[in-house]
Amino acid sequence: MSFDVTRAVREKIFTKVALMGPSGSGKTYSALRLAKGMAESLQEIEGRSIRIVMANTEVARGLYYANEFEYDIINVSAPHNPEKYVELVDFVVKEGYDILIMDSTSHEWEGRGGCLELQQLAGGTYQAWAKVTPRHNNFISAIADSPIHIIATMRGKDQYEMDKDEKGKTSVKKLGVGAVQRTGFEYEFTFTATLDQVDNMAISQKDNTHIFEKQGRILLSEKHGKELIAWANSGEGYTPPVRNVKSDIEIQQELYETIVAKCRLLGGQENEQVMETVKRHEAEATGKKASGNFKKIKDVEKLKALLEELETLTPLEETA
């Protein structure tokens, strides 16, 4: 067997930044400051207007800083399945945005319709992860392979510690220990930092750029966004990776399985709301009298619409 050997050449990179921390640690604000600095540098380099968009899962929180920064917003609601976030990244790229803030990616993991719920719907066993893990990995690939700069926030796993000051006064401090995401997810990024709730200072956890690794505690700002772009652009071009995209048949089958599990969780045929919802979507999709068999729905988008409505229904035992 022979192998081709070529000289390694540094290419331009689309940076992927992860910010972790407990509530109140300044993840959203820090992400916007970084994005602003990145946009200013890119505008100087490319001589055009740079577009920032925030994918907001935090209800009104995504608008808190609209008077301080210029950005568009996409509100992302349940179900928070991985496919929705893959489609989100693809949509943002197609629409010509340069920087995407995903605030936050924790919903893809623990939100309604996210990976933890999908694993339970698939049986709740260790073996059930065989169905969910590939879907989560597609989400990771969508971030890594996208030809745009991405800043992803993650909620910290809240933990508390007792602290005493020099006068002996005791206080309780909230810590963000790790991320509310699958273990190791935060290390898929170019630069990962943990933010402190007390002073919003960031501490580097992983840094391929070598910009932050020796700086200790820092307050992230537009300056750091500009430094990230300077590092990212210090190459000779960009070769986009080829991402394997699932066929509609594969997505359709996954949706069928998820809908079956969701209907069972809601009480199945005994739940009148479930049957009414399924029949209505079936009739709209087929143009024929409904029998209550959602597998007659072949269109992927219509199946997703059915699943989204099922997510809003209440299980039978909770209505009794």
Confidence at 15, pLDDT banded by 50, 70, 90: very high
CA-CA distances (angstroms) from residue 205 to 81, 87, 98, 190?
Answer: 27, 29, 25, 11
Share above pLDDT 70 across residues of the chain, in percent, rounded to a whole number:
91
Question: Across residues 232-259, what is the average pLDDT?
Answer: 80
* Whether pLDDT at 41 is above 80: yes
What is this structure's pTM? 0.80
Question: Across residues 84-103, what is the average pLDDT?
Answer: 96
pLDDT of residue 174: 46
pLDDT of residue 34: 98
pLDDT of residue 172: 47
> Which fold, 16-232?
Rossmann fold (3.40.50)
- List the one residue out of 89, 78, 194 whose CA is nearest residue 148: 89
pLDDT of residue 61: 82
**Alpha carbons 316 and 273: distance in angstroms, whole number:** 9
* Whether pLDDT at 80 is above 50: yes
Neighbouring residues of 204: CB distance < 8 A, sequence distance ≥ 6: 191, 192, 193, 212, 213, 215
pLDDT of residue 243: 67
Question: pLDDT of 129-154, one tens digit each?
Answer: 999 999 999 999 999 999 999 999 99
Neighbouring residues of 24: CB distance < 8 A, sequence distance ≥ 6: 174, 197
Confidence at 160, pLDDT banded by 50, 70, 90: very low
Confidence at 317, pLDDT banded by 50, 70, 90: confident
Instruction: Quote the mean pLDDT of the chain.
Output: 89
**Alpha carbons 98 and 107: distance in angstroms, whole number:** 23
CB-based contact 203:19 (threshold 8 Å): no
* Whether pLDDT at 199 is above 70: yes
Confidence at 200, pLDDT banded by 50, 70, 90: very high
CB-based contact 297:255 (threshold 8 Å): no
Domain boundaries, the chain: 16-232, 248-315
| Per-residue three-class SS string for the chain | CCCCCCCCCCCCCCCEEEEEECCCCCHHHHHHHHHHHHHHHHHHHHCCCCCEEEEECCHHHHHCCCCCCCCEEEECCCCCCHHHHHHHHHHHHHCCCCEEEEECCHHHHHCCCCHHHHHHHCCCCHHHHHHHHHHHHHHHHHHHHCCCEEEEEEEEEEEEEEEECCCCCEEEEEEEEEECCCCCHHHHCCEEEEECCCCCCEEEEEECCCCCCCCCCECCCHHHHHHHHHHHCCCCCCCCCCCCCCCHHHHHHHHHHHHHHHHHHHCHHHCHHHHHHHHHHHHHHHCCCCCCCHHHCCCHHHHHHHHHHHCCCCCHHHHC
pLDDT of residue 176: 46
Question: Across residues 49-59, what is the average pLDDT?
Answer: 93
* Whether pLDDT at 195 is above 60: yes
pLDDT of residue 158: 56
CA dihedral 80, 123, 310, 277 (to 10 degrees): 150
**Alpha carbons 36 and 51: distance in angstroms, whole number:** 10
* Whether pLDDT at 264 is above 80: yes
